[in-house]
Amino acid sequence: MALNRTELIAKIADVAGITKTDADKAVAALQSVLVESLTRGEAVKITGLMSVERTERAARKGRNPRTGEEIEIPAGFGVKISAGSTLKKAVAK
């Protein structure tokens, strides 16, 4: 089971004792800051929870699975998310 955005906002509002509107603004702000920082190549680290960073992928050769034809896959970027110590301990229980 996954927690969707609406459920997440409702839980944040309940735990923090704020309105759902304010919780939605906080989640939107976090999303905006993450996207902007990663676009600039900056890592985002929330101690104990997680760290998020942009990674580079080199150009490489691959194969079209339908035809077996070799294709060039261009260089690009990905995102790496690592769990922090508090999160790792909570999940390990």
Residue range 47-87, pLDDT digits in tens: 999 999 999 999 999 999 999 999 999 999 999 999 999 99
Residue ranges of E strands in 1-93:
44-46, 50-57, 60-63, 70-73, 76-83
Domain extent, residue 77, equals: 45-93
Residue 4 and residue 26: Cα distance in Å, rounded?
15
27-44 mean pLDDT: 96
Question: Model pTM?
Answer: 0.78
- Together in a domain, 57 and 32: no
Grade residue 90 by pLDDT with cuts at 50, 70 and 90: very high
| Pair (25, 55) in one structural domain | no
Q: What percent of the chain has pLDDT over 90?
A: 98
Mean pLDDT of the chain: 96
63 and 85 in a single domain? The answer is yes
| Among candidate residues 3, 93, 89, the one with its CA nearest the CA of residue 48 | 89
Please state the domain count of the chain.
2
Distances (CA, A) of 76 to 4, 34, 42, 50, 71: 28, 18, 16, 23, 15
